[in-house]
Amino acid sequence: MGKSTIIPFGPQHPVLPEPIHLDLVLEDEKVVEAIPQIGYVHRGLEKLVEKKEWPEMVFVIERVCGICSFGHGWGYCMSVEGNLGVEVPPRAQYLRTIWHELSRIQSHLLWLGLIADAFGFESLFMHSWRLRETAVEIFEDTTGARTTFSVCKVGGLRRDIENEKLAEIVKKLRDKEAELRELTSVFLDDNSVKKRLVGIGALTKEDVIELGAVGPVARASGVSNDVRLDGHGVYNELGFEPCVEEEGDSYARCKVRVREIFQSIDLIERAVAAIPDGDIAIEIKGVHPAGEFLARLEQPRGEAYYYTKGSGEKFLERVRVRTPSNANVPALVKMLQGCDLADVPILTLTIDPCISCVER
């Protein structure tokens, strides 16, 4: 047994798009312990609730994270709507679901690119991001912005998508499907990619339950944890079934996300086929949230909680966002124990960490 050494990993590291710091305790090339250290991205944005009125606060909550921005906006709106006891028109529910699934496609392709970069395939990274532009272009086309597009408001949506455009969106996604299959088959079938992912950072079903992991990390280990099963949005109407794999290693986590990209395209197609005509928002006037409400939502990275508490004033007393990356950090710490130093970047990425979500 060698002498133990502590290696600092991050905050500025080529493989990390975001600053997280890990103190890696090593014995020779094996990691014995990993201690996460955060605070580089902490802004304290939940406290802005004291300065921004509740209808405005949605803009702040959307900026918890730019990758899953739409879901954060939706979750906050859902929470305030629950607080006020209002129902959102069905067309708005369908459109929210469509935008949310597009965000999932965008986010998973982004992740595929980053993991490709981490295991050393730069051209695969480039192709993943090239295809990711398909979803981003749809955002731009329908909302005018590429990342943080602020279409959700309490009571519904700010923008509609015409039915012809919805059909175009489905066609656009279906047109790219062959290319997506080609791309994802490299991740799932290529020998050298498999060598870098299969068996790396395996978590059993019991581990995942014990660590409280959520989202694709949990689903890759055989735990069918998916908030979409509780039917927020219109997932019940669309006949949603979660993608679950059993192996629990990095490869399984990759496979879950790949399957979810195609599942999201299917869900969008079904939503477009079933979307009713009608209003996209209801008017909310003269009332302020006076109770407390906890809403849940399935983000690309897993289950997220949105808690709002009001006292009948225009400023809420508390907004709290529990993001999926927050729940997945303990799983990462566990995975890193006993891994090779060379696998640290891949393992860090397999939970799809979103540090600005963790710290807010």
Partner 1 sequence: MSIKKSPWIIHYDCSSCNGCDIEMLACLTPMYDLERFGIVNTGNPKHADVFIVTGTVNTQNIPVVKQIYNQMPNPKVVIAVGICAATGGIFRGCYNVVGGLDHVIPVDMYVPGCAARPEAIIDGIMKSIDILAEKQAALDEGVVPEEICGGYIYEGEHDEHGTLITDEDADAAEEEQDVGATPDQEEQE
Partner 2 sequence: MNIETHPADALLALAQDTKADGWRLGQVCATTIGDSVEMLYTFEKNNELKSYKFMLNAEAPELQSVTATYPYAFIYENEIHDLFGVKFKNLAVDYEGTFFRIAEKTPWNPSAAKGGEN
Site membership for partner 2, residue 249 (CB under 8 A): no
Q: What sign has the CA pseudo-torsion 218, 247, 339, 187?
A: negative
SS3 123: helix
Are the C-beta atoms of residues 299 and 326 closer than 8 Å to each other?
no
Site membership for partner 2, residue 326 (CB under 8 A): yes
Tell me which of 296, 315, 340, 341 binds partner 2, using CB under 8 A: 296
Q: Which long-range contacts (CB under 8 A, 24 or more apart) does 266-269 make?
A: 267/97, 267/101, 267/235, 267/238, 267/240, 268/98, 268/101, 268/102, 268/169, 268/170, 268/173, 269/170, 269/173, 269/174
Site membership for partner 1, residue 202 (CB under 8 A): no
* Complex with partner 1: residue 56 or 210, whichever CB lies closer: 56
156 DSSP β-pair partners: 153, 281
Site membership for partner 2, residue 305 (CB under 8 A): yes
Total length of the chain: 360
Site membership for partner 2, residue 111 (CB under 8 A): no
Q: Choose among partner 2, partner 1, none what residue 194 binds, the Cβ cut-off being 5 to 8 Å by kind.
A: none
Site membership for partner 1, residue 133 (CB under 8 A): yes
* Complex with partner 1: residue 141 or 230, whichever CB lies closer: 141
Are the C-beta atoms of residues 205 and 218 closer than 8 Å to each other?
no
Cβ-in-10-Å burial (0-12, 13-18, 19+) of 279 comes to middle
DSSP label at 224?
-
Site membership for partner 1, residue 45 (CB under 8 A): yes
Site membership for partner 2, residue 26 (CB under 8 A): no
Nearest CA-CA partner of 22 in 351, 344, 283, 358: 344
Site membership for partner 2, residue 318 (CB under 8 A): yes
Site membership for partner 1, residue 19 (CB under 8 A): yes
Site membership for partner 1, residue 115 (CB under 8 A): no
Per the structure block, which two tokens stand in for 7? 């290696």
Site membership for partner 2, residue 227 (CB under 8 A): yes
Q: Choose among partner 2, partner 1, none what residue 57 binds, the Cβ cut-off being 5 to 8 Å by kind.
A: none
Tell me which of 4, 130, 195, 236 binds partner 1, using CB under 8 A: 130
Q: Which residue type, as a one-letter code, is found at position 107?
A: S
Cβ-in-10-Å burial (0-12, 13-18, 19+) of 83 comes to buried
Q: What sign has the CA pseudo-torsion 331, 334, 338, 340?
A: positive
Site membership for partner 1, residue 250 (CB under 8 A): no
Site membership for partner 1, residue 180 (CB under 8 A): no
CA 116 → CA 150, 186, 218, 291, distances in Å? 30, 10, 21, 46
Site membership for partner 2, residue 39 (CB under 8 A): yes
Q: Which listed range, 7-15, 36-44, 244-252, 278-286, lies at the site for partner 2 (CB under 8 A)?
A: 36-44
Site membership for partner 2, residue 303 (CB under 8 A): yes
Using CB under 8 A as the binding rule, the residues of this chain from 56 to 75 that contact partner 1 are 59-60, 63-67, 69
Site membership for partner 2, residue 212 (CB under 8 A): yes
CB of 71 to partner 1, least distance (A): 13
Q: Choose among partner 1, partner 2, none what residue 305 binds, the Cβ cut-off being 5 to 8 Å by kind.
A: partner 2
Tell me which of 297, 307, 324, 352 binds partner 2, using CB under 8 A: 307
Alpha helices in 10-89 (DSSP H): 54-62, 69-84
Residues contributing to the site for partner 2 (CB under 8 A): 37-39, 42, 44, 47, 82, 209-212, 227, 229-230, 291-294, 296, 303, 305, 307, 309, 317-318, 320, 322, 326-327, 329-330, 359
